[in-house]
Amino acid sequence: MFSVDGPSILIDRLIELSPQNGSLVFIYPTRTGANTFMHEYLSPILDPVLRSTVTANGLSSELCQSLGSMPAVSLLPEHAELERKMRALCAHLTNRSATMARFHGSRATFNLVHSSTKEVLLNRQVWAKDWWTKQEKTRVTEVVMRNAQEAQTKSSNRHVDRPPSATELWQKLLKDVETRPYDAGCEPKKGVEVAVFVIKRSE
């Protein structure tokens, strides 16, 4: 979530826009979209994978509780809040335009000329192999390592001859999320909502 000052990379891109109606398209996931991703795309795959992993390896149910959610979802704003922040950012940059005159030799005006929401159907290979793994890698790795270490110290573990290592658990989890087919009737049917904004710079 960005403040009135905005993320530095967004501000940099806006400053670099041509003063002759240069435009920037900014796309950002909404909380509604993130919840759709969790319920329609990730959970139907991840939940059964976690349950089978816990059962087969004698792991704590904490693995399911921790990895079955994404804390970042609740932090994402909805479209209305994003639009308010984008308008505030445009006003903030316009007010600062005197200090930015050195970039193009003139004052700048930034206007939000388009604001809407769109639903995007996500490709399985993209979100499972690239986006989700990168977004959650640090947190998932920590949870998996903790559970693997606990399993390795249990002398009464009768489920397996040798408790899996953290690396083995992590690799199998990733592979299952990437390749496990959806159960019949559980394939995603709804697109993920994103907020789409177009900001124009003029003199």
> Taking the model in full, what pTM does it have?
0.80
- H helices of 43-165, in order, are 43-57, 62-67, 79-95, 101-104, 124-126, 132-153
**141: confidence class by pLDDT, cuts 50, 70, 90:** confident
Name the residue among 119, 114, 125 with its Cα closest to residue 32. 119
Strands 20-29 and 109-120: unpaired
Pairwise CA distance, residues 44 & 186, whole Å? 7
Average pLDDT, the chain: 83
pLDDT, greater one: 94 or 162:
94
Q: What is the pLDDT of residue 5?
A: 42
pLDDT above 90 covers a percentage of the chain that reads 37
User: Is the model's pLDDT at 174 over the cut of 90?
Assistant: no
Name the residue among 10, 11, 141 with its Cα closest to residue 66. 141
Pairwise CA distance, residues 57 & 4, whole Å? 48
Q: Residue 202 in contact with residue 109, Cβ under 8 Å?
A: yes
Q: Which pLDDT tens digit goes with each residue over 76-124?
A: 999 999 999 999 999 998 888 766 565 556 678 999 999 999 999 999 9
Strand partners, 202: 20, 109
